[in-house]
Amino acid sequence: MPTPVTPLVSVPVTPPVTTTVDSPQPLVHVDIESLLNDKVFLLSLLDIAAMAPKARAILKKRLTKSHSKKKEGKQELNLIDESTSVKGTSAPRVNGAINSLPCESILNGGCTPCIISFELVKKLGLQDTLESVDRKLIIGNGSSVLVKGIVKNLNINLGNAAIIYQDAFCLDVGDRYNFIAGRNLMHELKISTDWENHTWSIRLPHQTI
């Protein structure tokens, strides 16, 4: 007997269901500052993700800790007292000592070497130790002044902050000034200048102050 044939039955195939999520749109109506102060608020994760970059930046700034490292062991000293002078019109001056003798010094970024007055040299008893040199220096008014000699290895203290040993040219300038700290010395002491606020500062390890 012939084998019965089972008729084929077509079964409809259901296509897979795909779910799409629209890209979150910026929530322009959300008051970010009010969210920071509200104790309870309703926002879905999609709402949070949809916040504008500016909103995310505000939240990040307000809710995260600053990772900037505080400079430990450092102290900044203002080298000059300008309470009685007009900013920008006076020469920056600082108290200190030369070879342990207290005196006032002038900070001069336009002068390369240090300059010591002959009057101060005599007070220090160093007039016989001057090292002769055949040289002239041009000073602020454009005139040239003959250098009387070089004082070697002066003990220089500015602002009671640090002691530096440097040579200095000796000029006979009367009592107009005692000592001029030039760029070489200012570089050694890491003196920084803020021209906007007319301040000169020095940063040193705390234990050396």
pLDDT for 114 beyond 90? yes
> Residue 111: what pLDDT?
85
Mean pLDDT for 16-42 is: 60
pLDDT band at 97 (very low <50, low <70, confident <90, very high): very high
Enclosing H/E stretch for 97: strand 93-98
| Residue 202 CB neighbour total at 10 angstroms | 20
Question: What angle is formed at CA 156 by the lines to CA 81 and CA 164, rounded to 5 degrees?
Answer: 110
pLDDT band at 8 (very low <50, low <70, confident <90, very high): low
Q: What is the pLDDT of residues 189-201, one digit of tens each?
A: 777 777 677 677 7
State how far Cα 48 lies from the chain centre: 38
pTM tops 0.85, yes or no: no
pLDDT for 132 beyond 70? yes
Mean pLDDT for 55-84 is: 54
Whether the CA torsion 145, 180, 103, 196 is positive or negative: it is positive
Mean pLDDT for 65-88 is: 48
pLDDT band at 136 (very low <50, low <70, confident <90, very high): confident
> Given the structure tokens 């001029």, which residue do they identify?
180
pLDDT band at 170 (very low <50, low <70, confident <90, very high): very high
Max Cα separation, the chain? 143
User: Which domains can be identified in the chain, with CATH numbers?
Assistant: 32-63 (no CATH), 74-208 (2.40.70.10)
| Residue 148 CB neighbour total at 10 angstroms | 18
